[in-house]
Amino acid sequence: MSIQLKDTGLYRTDAYINGQWVSGDEGEVFAVSNPATGEIIAQVASVSAEQTSEAIAAAELAMQSWRALPAKARCDLLERWHQLILDNKEDLAQLMTMEQGKPLHEARGEVLYGASFLKWFAEEGKRVYGDVLPATPDRRSIVIKQPIGVVAAITPWNFPNAMITRKVAPALAVGCAIVLKPAAETPLSALALAELAERAGLPAGLFSVLPTSDVVAVGGEMTSNPTVKKLTFTGSTAVGKLLMRQCADTVKRTSMELGGNAPVIIFDDADLEKAVAGTLVSKYRNSGQTCICANRIMVQEGIYDAFVKKFSQAVKGFCIGDGLDEKTTHGPVITEKAAQEIHSKVESAVAAGAKVITGGKISDKGTHFYEPTVLTDVNDQMRLFKEEIFGPVAPIFKFSTEAEAIAMANDTEFGLAAYIYTNDMGCIWRVSEGIEYGMVGVNETAISSEIIPFGGVKESGQGREGSKYGLDDYLETKYICIGGI
C-alpha cells in the first residue's frame, strides 16, 4: 500500500467465510486499484460459486442459535460493532478513499453514516412487535414476526461502507444471517467491516464477505440456492431486473434499490442562495456518482439566468484531484470507462445544441477525472434528460409552469428521489403529491439518514432501507389461530 494505516489489521485481502479468512479456490485473486493514481493497492481473493455455497450453508447453521437469542443480546453485539467503527473511523476512511476515490472528508462522512445504521437497528431490532387480532370467544388470533432466513446481499462501489451496513444491520438485528458480495472495485471496505465484526464478537457464519471477479457465478449461486430466502441488491436497474428474474425460480423475497433520474425543481419564488447550495451538494457529491444525485436541474424561467450564473461560478471553484489530498473537493470517477461514458453523454448533448458553461471534457489530471460540468440549452430529447448521468455533469433545463415541471419530472421510468425549491406552501403540497418518486426533499437535498425509509417507485426499485420500515424486508409475518379456549 502507498499509505500506512494506524491499525494494519484492517487491511484484509482474503475472503471471510464462516469466521475464517480464506483464499479463493486455487488461489484466484483480482487486482484493486486506486482510481486517482492507477496504483494497484491490493490483490484480493476471488471466491467461487462453490465457496459461496459453503458460506450459505454456514449461514443457515449459524442462524439457528442466533435467532434464538434474545433481541437485546443480538443488538448489544451490533452496538459493540458500531463503537469499533467509530474508533477506527480514520483508517476506514483512508481505505475507502484509496479504493473508491472520493475525498477524505466525504469518506469520513460515509463511515459515520454507515455506523449510524448499526446503532439504529441495534435499537430498532428490540422493537419487532406482533398483534392479537379480534376473534370469536372460543379462539384467539395472533400475529408474530420471525426472521425470513438466510439473506444474500450485493452492494455497489459508490458507497462501499454504508450500503453494506444498511443491509447487514437490520438482517442481523432480527435474527437472520447474511452473505455479502461487495463490488469488485471496492472490496477492502467490506473486508475491514468484517474484521471489526469479528472483533465485536459476531459468531462465525453469520456474516460472510465474498469478494470475487466472477460475479456471474457467485451471483448465480446466490439467486439459485434455495437456502437463501431473500436477496437485497443496490445497483443498476438492468442488473436488478436480471437478479429478480433469477430469483423467481425459488420465489425469493427481493428488495431492490436501483437507478435514479432525480429532478431538482426550482421555482421563481425559491431562495436562490439555498437552491444553488443544495443543488451543488446534490449534483456533485461523490463526483455525481450517487443514485439520488441531481440528474436534471429544472429551473423556472424567471430565475433561470440568475441561477445559472451563481451555480456556474461555484462549480468553477471546485478542485479535482486525489481524494487523499485534503485540498481536493472532488475526486475521480470510478473507472476510465465511466469517464468515457460521461463524456459520450456530454458530446451527444452538445451535438444537439447544448452549451457548455464550464467543464465538458476529461481532465488533464488523468483518465479517471472528469471536469465538473454545467450545460445549458438542454432539452428533453437529449440522453442527459432520459439517462442517469452518474458523473459530475449538471444539465440545467428551463420550465414555465408548475404543470410543466411536474410533467417533466415524471417523464422517466425512474422514481427514486426528487427535490423541490419553493416558498409557496400550496405548491409544495401539489408538486410533492404530483411527482412519482419514493422520496421528496423540499428546500433540502440532504435527505438521507438512518431514520428515513430510503427507496423508490417505478423502475427505481422495491422495498425500503433504514427507518422502522427497514426491518420489514427481513421478517416473515406468521398468523397463529388458537382454538378451543
Respond yes or no: is residue 291 known to be catalytic.
yes
Cα four-point dihedral sign 379, 338, 94, 215: positive
State how far the Cα of 4 lies from the Cα of 8, in Å rounded to an integer: 7
State how far the Cα of 58 lies from the Cα of 66, in Å rounded to an integer: 12
Which is catalytic among the residues 54, 257, 388, 465? 257
Which is catalytic among the residues 247, 291, 293, 427? 291
Query: What is each CA distance from 203 to 20, 59, 248, 397, in whole angstroms?
Result: 11, 10, 31, 53
**Number of CB atoms found within 10 A of residue 154's CB:** 25
Torsion of CA 166, 172, 177, 182, to 10 degrees: 20
DSSP class of 202: P
**Lookup result for grid cell 426472521:** 147
Query: What is each CA distance from 460 to 33, 157, 248, in whole angstroms?
Result: 30, 18, 19
State how far the Cα of 243 lies from the Cα of 255, in Å rounded to an integer: 10
State how far the Cα of 459 lies from the Cα of 240, in Å rounded to an integer: 9
Contacts of 145 (CB under 8 A, 6+ apart): 128, 129, 130, 174, 475, 476, 477, 478
Cα four-point dihedral sign 417, 421, 426, 430: negative
Residue 179's H or E segment, with its range, is: strand 178-181
The H-assigned helical ranges of 36-103 are: 49-68, 71-87, 89-100
DSSP class of 24: P
Residue 41's H or E segment, with its range, is: strand 40-45
What are the residue numbers of the active site? Answer: 257, 291
